[in-house]
Structure 1
Amino acid sequence: MKKISSVEEYIENHAQFGESLNILRDIINITELEETIKWSSPVYALDGKNVVGLGAFKNHFGIWFFNGVFLKDGNKLLEQAQEKTKGLRQMRFNSIDDIDKNIVLAYIKEAIENQKLGKEIKPERKGKSVTIPKELLNELNANSALFDAFKLLTLGKQREYCEHIETAKKNATKLSRIEKIKPMILKGIGLHDKYKNC
């Protein structure tokens, strides 16, 4: 797909909806949003944060709301594009007659206000769960104080201890490592805390 360098070029490439896209563009440009091109499509941002985008497809065109999940959607105009898109919502149109300028502008203004309030879906951090090696799990199950202390540690500290045990090749090494870390866990300190405080 050819790289688009301007909004005009994008609209020219979707000539069947050209007039409609220009109407939506004019509505968006009434606001304080800054017009840019990202991913070869028109995107409108506030302080560098994407708020809305224009899109044209084979049989429809519309506006993307990057954090549309927070919009009230009193007119029931928003669609979730795909199941995996958590925040993104789309306002689709099939023809120029579907566009109600006042309603579209109200949605855009609400999206801008939400952005100013900091309402946005934060990307999920990968690897939230911790896999506890069986040797450490046995020790935790046998010692309730140790178990409670381990659960109070941050996920990062839990993960450090689990990796420390898991990386030992011999079972005897794993068990000796567990004995060494038990007092640290009970004190609520992480495996590498002494290096972090230097």
Structure 2
Amino acid sequence: MQTDPRIDAYIDASAPFARPILAWFRAHMHAALPEVEETIKWSMPFFTYRGKPLANMAAFKAHAAFGFWKRESSATGHEGEAMGQFGKLAGMADLPEPDALDAMIRDAAALIDAGEGGRPRAERPAKPEADVPQELAEALAGDDAAAATFNAFPPSCRREYCEWIGDAKRTETRSKRVAEAIGWLREGKRRNWKYENC
């Protein structure tokens, strides 16, 4: 069992009620998954597997907590009650069933083995393609070079031009922006090209 002396120090500095709880989780991590590694992240004991975050634990004034990084690996019914998935652990009687915890540890490692070791990112819905203002559409229709650049840009870059021109309140401002946009597009420049090399 490879241990990190910083975790020894963390446990020793914790409140007396928390020490056996933290030691118990630590022992189970190593017993269920001998390849687990220890470290300190965000000032808390952390367990990693194959370089990926697996679980962490912490001690507070009145409770301890343990949680898996990939939360789907444990369905305990305590989500939201404390930092981890097992609620506020105030004593040894609050610990999960040992066999159940060992299975959760192995399941969490299996997710990493399957390439699912990071926290899932919430998928953002794709923004719709921007409406091209009429003045810009007409100017692009008369300039092949600017149109080629505009059409080759990703949707976000096209949207920047469309919104900049579309937000103009006055006709004069809109015309001025269209002229500037066409000039920049002929040169292959994005709308905010001035800030790209800052």
Q: TM-score range by the shorter chain?
A: 0.5 to 0.7
CA contact (8 A) 2:17 2:90 kept: no
1:20 paired with 2:21, answer yes
CA contact (8 A) 2:133 2:162 kept: no
Q: Tell me the TM-score normalized by structure 1.
A: 0.61
Q: Tell me the TM-score normalized by structure 2.
A: 0.61
Amino acid at match of 1:71: S
Partner residue in 2 for 1:139: 134
How far, CA to CA, are the matches of 2:81 and 2:178 in structure 1?
49
How far, CA to CA, are the matches of 1:108 and 1:161 in structure 2?
50
Q: How many residues align?
A: 168
Q: RMSD between aligned alpha carbons? A: 4.5
How far, CA to CA, are the matches of 2:179 and 2:30 in structure 1?
65
Deviation at 1:22, TM superposition (A): 0.6
How far, CA to CA, are the matches of 1:72 and 1:24 in structure 2?
15
How far, CA to CA, are the matches of 1:167 and 1:48 in structure 2?
48
Partner residue in 2 for 1:50: 53
Deviation at 1:174, TM superposition (A): 3.3
Which string of whole-angstrom CA distances, capped at 9 and with x for unpartnered residues, describes residues 144-197 of structure 1? xx9xxx9xx7442234424764899x8535325437868xx9xxxx854xx9xx
Partner residue in 1 for 2:147: none
How far, CA to CA, are the matches of 1:61 and 1:177 in structure 2?
59
CA contact (8 A) 1:161 1:191 kept: no
Summarize the Cα distance change of 1:156–1:56 in structure 2 as closer, same or farther, 3 Å threshold. Answer: same
CA contact (8 A) 2:133 2:165 kept: no
How far, CA to CA, are the matches of 1:81 and 1:116 in structure 2?
29
1:157 paired with 2:164, answer no
Summarize the Cα distance change of 1:166–1:51 in structure 2 as closer, same or farther, 3 Å threshold. Answer: farther
How far, CA to CA, are the matches of 2:102 and 2:11 in structure 1?
20
Q: 2:110 aligns with which of 101, 113, 116?
A: 113
Partner residue in 2 for 1:71: 73
Q: 1:34 aligns with which of 11, 34, 37?
A: 37
Partner residue in 2 for 1:80: 80
Partner residue in 2 for 1:85: none
- Name structure 2 gaps, 5 residues minimum: 142-149, 194-198
Q: 2:90 aligns with which of 87, 94, 118?
A: 94
Q: Secondary structure at the match of 1:36?
A: strand
CA contact (8 A) 1:157 1:191 kept: no
Partner residue in 1 for 2:196: none
How far, CA to CA, are the matches of 1:64 and 1:177 in structure 2?
53
Partner residue in 2 for 1:7: 7
- Name structure 1 gaps, 5 residues minimum: 83-87
How far, CA to CA, are the matches of 1:91 and 1:9 in structure 2?
24
Deviation at 1:118, TM superposition (A): 2.9
Percent identical pairs in the alignment equals 24
